[in-house]
Amino acid sequence: MIVTDSEKRISDICARWRVEGLSVGFVPTMGALHRGHLSLVEIAAASSDRVVVSIFVNPTQFGQGEDLDWYPRTLEEDCSSVESAGASAVFAPRADTVYPDDFSTGVHVTGISEGLCGAARPGHFDGVITVCAVLFGIVKPDLAVFGMKDAQQLAVIRRMVSDLRMGIEIVAAPVVRESDGLAMSSRNQYLSVEEREQACLISAGLEKALSLFRTGERNCEVLQKEFLAALKDAPLLRVQYVETVDPDTMLGVERVDKQVLLAVAVFAGKTRLIDNILIWSEV
Ligand code: PAF
């Protein structure tokens, strides 16, 4: 597997693959990889001839006082795990490669990026999609895989790729969970033992809301309250938001008449965790 921090090298390699008729799948990450990330690499590998994984802790998507400085950096372990998952190359650029001194462009998607995490973390999605636009421009993938755990990020990226006619297929990968239901996240390692014990109530609460929907409840406020009730005996958890939205537009929904995303952000101590579940049934 190729590991490089050189923009020219990775773009030359990808260009050569394309000339050889090989399709290129792409998985952008910030490293500190867990099984959730590896599932993205496996999905990319199943539908592309070559897979590039980028590892870059993107400073522009962190707000003031967030965890940029102590975000875990584990490049060596990350490289060996993505190689086993089917990656052909890792691109781990330096910050001044991605953002040279004269870098002057920012991408902003209106609407979809402004509620939920966008409201809680102003500027976050501008940083995410700008770095994705830069990385897409370097790798020029045929497809890119993003996790459903970051459902708003996925929706914002889909919108950008469609609006800017980037010609990249965006593939959504299911949320990967620990055995007790906690959604996998690089930030789970910040949790104390007590916070970790209580954090599993987040997914339990989402499941309870889905079960209530399955018994016939269609009122979104009642479903949100069902989620909140599951957290009532968890003093270390603090809900930042619980919202029911259309999964494509991220606009609020009051009744479940079609697929709805129940999306939450919850602090466990100082660690901010997000999770979501699709409320719908085919029957
Ligand atoms: O989901 C992430 O890890 C990041 O937001 C991404 C997409 C790699 C952009 O930095």
Map out the domains of the chain as residue ranges.
2-173, 186-279
Q: Quote the pLDDT of residue 282.
A: 66
Q: Is the domain covering 2-173 a CATH 3.40.1740.10 domain?
A: no
- Regions of the chain with pLDDT less than 70: 282-283
If phi > 0 it is left, if psi is from -120 to 50 it is alpha, else beta; for residue 99 that is beta
Question: Are the beta carbons of 234 and 201 closer than 8 angstroms?
Answer: yes
Question: Are the beta carbons of 202 and 182 closer than 8 angstroms?
Answer: yes
How far is Cα 159 from Cα 259, in angstroms, rounded to an integer? 19
Ligand 1 center–CA 274 separation, angstroms: 14
Q: Quote the pLDDT of residue 3.
A: 98
Task: Tell me which H or E stretch contains 212.
Answer: helix 193-214
pLDDT digits (tens, 9 = 90+) for 56-95: 999 999 999 999 999 999 999 999 999 999 999 999 999 9
Helix residue ranges per DSSP H, 140-176: 151-163
The amino acid occupying position 18 is R
Q: Does 28 sit in the ligand 1 pocket, CB within 6 Å?
A: yes
DSSP conformation letters of 97-128: HHS-TT-------TTTTTSHHHHHSTTHHHHH
**CATH (one of 3.30.360.10, 3.30.1300.10, 3.40.50.1820, 3.30.70.1560) for 186-279:** 3.30.1300.10
Of all protein residues, the one whose alpha carbon is nearest to atom 3 of ligand 1 is 29
Nearest Cα to Cα of residue 222 among 233, 211, 234, 236: 211
How far is Cα 205 from Cα 238, in angstroms, rounded to an integer? 13
The residues facing 262 across adjacent strands are 244, 277
Ligand 1 center–CA 182 separation, angstroms: 19
Q: Does 32 sit in the ligand 1 pocket, CB within 6 Å?
A: no
Pairing of strands 237-245, 260-268: antiparallel
Q: Quote the pLDDT of residue 283.
A: 52
Q: Is 108 a catalytic residue?
A: no
Q: Which atom of ligand 1 is nearest to the CA of 61?
A: 10
